[in-house]
Amino acid sequence: MQVELVRDRIDTQAITDRLKVGEDGAVTVFDGIVRNNTRGRQTLYLDYTAHESMALREMGELADEAIARFGVRDVAMVHRLGRLEIGETSILIAVASAHRGVTFAACRWLIDTLKKQVPIWKQEFFVDGAVWAPGEPFPAELQVVSSHGTP
Amino acid sequence: MQVELVRDRIDTQAITDRLKVGEDGAVTVFDGIVRNNTRGRQTLYLDYTAHESMALREMGELADEAIARFGVRDVAMVHRLGRLEIGETSILIAVASAHRGVTFAACRWLIDTLKKQVPIWKQEFFVDGAVWAPGEPFPAELQVVSSHGTP
Amino acid sequence: MAACQNRYAYGMRLRVLFFGVLRDRFGQEEQLQQFPGHTVADLLRYYRAVAPELDQLWGTLAVAVNQQYAAASLQLQQDDEVALLPPVSGGAGCVRKHAG
Amino acid sequence: MAACQNRYAYGMRLRVLFFGVLRDRFGQEEQLQQFPGHTVADLLRYYRAVAPELDQLWGTLAVAVNQQYAAASLQLQQDDEVALLPPVSGGAGCVRKHAG
């Protein structure tokens, strides 16, 4: 199981090559890449920051849960931090197993869950300034403040 | 759109790099690899053959249909033929689009459909001989002979 | 008169390709010089009579004529390329465990 | 007697980390030397009173204590690391179009 936060270019080929073993028949890979536009505005670049120790722990727990829940053999999850240019990979998730169905399901679940609860934030830089991406709402059980506004 | 049959190693990184453009936010990749066992027997290697001209036409039509049906931006589909060793990639399918949901759905549909109707066959070599893999039954509309046995 | 009703009264020339397990029995291809039938179904019946021992396989085939899947009723033409296709097994290493 | 009921009667020392949009207002972190409250909810109320202008953001946060998501009722301890977390936006470039 490879779970990492990195600051350099993510090498998809090396990660998937390292993941595969003889009994695998399928690897499904999700490659999240920096788009040239955000909500209709032209993006110059992005900057990702994380609560690093916590993000690593959360990612490791998600990988464990994916293996247990979907019965896949192994998972690699690598997120890049710092400044990323258009077209670069921000997140790579690779899931290997003997059969393909579970690799698709686990990979999809991992990216969907990561985007809701792994503490990583994205700042978007435009020609006329920067904004923090709005983010996905936390699952209700993680959000501290009740909807009427008092903790 | 890249649709190919090749006899050399499939370079996943090169194919996905070539596929991506600025407006893409997600690439889902399915990497089908040669397992070290088949129905419980230890596999030495595989040999893939195709009705090549027809397989290329079928793959091109599936790629077109995936783009139309799922609204993804682009698709790459490369199948390798000839002798493949354990751990090597036999099929690579990569789907790029702005958003991830459709890339998962289209990629899954492409591999499932390819395995049922693209004319490629696999011969499995074991220590004590070779067999043609049983294959997936054709969809009823492609099968020529009715179930009671007379064409 | 017979020649007017059917240009190929003495049979038509077909190129027949074999794939997968059929290659073990028939080789890669053969040229039929004077095939006496008319349709895809006729051609399948012909080969079935040649190799009845392949048994259940005959009930699982698809046929492509000039690289397109064809129905049993399709009329064959002089110089058609006809491919006999067993269930396909391309893609990944993970075939479901069903009877061969 | 008060000291027996609460070891930190004069407040406890906390390390508070800020992320995402909260960094624009509070910086990366601060050390609270004598935080007078007891729970995660108390700490959130404290910062909310400092920066009421952040408004709706306060209703969307999660809090981690020592790298674990924490409930509002969790009792804080001396030297805890508390992180205030706005909705996360890691992963791919494809955020659904909802209001910021």
For residue D24, what are the domain limits? 11-85
Q: ipTM score here?
A: 0.86
Chain D residues 66-95 within an 8 A CB cutoff of chain B:
92-94
Q: How many CB atoms lie within 10 A of CB D33?
A: 10
> What pTM did the predictor assign?
0.89
Q: What is the pLDDT of residue D5?
A: 47
Taking 90 as the threshold, does the pLDDT of residue B147 lie above it? no
Sign of torsion over alpha carbons B24, A104, A106, A143:
positive
Say whether B136 and C72 touch across the interface (CB within 8 A). no
Q: Which helix (H) or strand (E) holds B122?
A: strand B120-126
* pLDDT, tens digit, 9 for 90 and up, residues C38-86: 999 999 999 999 999 999 999 999 999 999 999 999 999 999 999 999 9
Question: Chains with 3 or more CB pairs closer than 8 angstroms to C?
Answer: A, B
For A24, the closest of B24, B35, B98 (CB atoms) is: B35
DSSP states along C35-72? E---BHHHHHHHHHHH-GGGGGGGGT-EEEETTEE--T
The residue of chain D with its CA nearest to that of A82 is: D90
Does residue C50 form part of some domain? yes
Q: Name every residue whose Cβ is closer than 8 Å to that of residue A8 and which is 6 or more positions away in sequence.
A: A80
Say whether D64 and A151 touch across the interface (CB within 8 A). no
User: What CATH class is the domain B2-128?
Assistant: alpha beta
* pLDDT, tens digit, 9 for 90 and up, residues D82-99: 999 999 999 975 544 433
Report the CATH number at residue D53. 3.10.20.30
Q: What is the pLDDT of residue A95?
A: 98
Alpha carbons within 13 angstroms on the beta-carbon side of residue B37 total 11
CA distance D45 to D31: 17
**If phi over 0 gives left and psi between -120 and 50 gives alpha, with beta otherwise, what is residue D96?**
beta
- Residue A150 to chain B, least CA–CA distance (Å): 35
Domain ranges of chain B: 2-128
CA distance B82 to C86: 18
Tally of domains within chain D: 1
Question: What are B36's two structure tokens?
Answer: 């070290």
Does residue C29 form part of some domain? yes
Cα B136 to chain centroid distance, Å, stands at 13
Say whether B35 and C41 touch across the interface (CB within 8 A). no
Report which of D50, D43, D26 is spatially closest to residue D77, judged by C-alpha positions.
Answer: D43
Say whether B51 and C19 touch across the interface (CB within 8 A). yes
| End-to-end Cα spacing for chain D | 49
Residue range B41-70: mean pLDDT, rounded: 97
Query: Looking at the complex, does the CB of residue A138 fall below 8 Å from at least one CB of chain D?
Result: yes
For residue C88, give the DSSP letter: P
Could you tell me how many helices (H) and strands (E) chain A has, helices first?
A: 3, 9
Identify the residue among C26, C38, C89 best suited for mutation to test binding to B, counting B beta carbons within 10 A and taking the highest: C89
Identify the residue among A31, A35, A85, A114 best suited for mutation to test binding to B, counting B beta carbons within 10 A and taking the highest: A31
CA distance D5 to C97: 67
Query: Looking at the complex, does the CB of residue B75 fall below 8 Å from at least one CB of chain C?
Result: no
Taking 60 as the threshold, does the pLDDT of residue B24 lie above it? yes
Does residue C95 form part of some domain? no
The residue of chain C with its CA nearest to that of A24 is: C93
Per CB-CB distance under 8 Å, the chain A contacts of C93 are 25-26
Question: What are B82's two structure tokens?
Answer: 């000839």
Q: What is the pLDDT of residue B8?
A: 97
pLDDT: which is higher, D98 or A33? A33
Flag the least confident range among C2-6, C13-17, D20-24.
C2-6
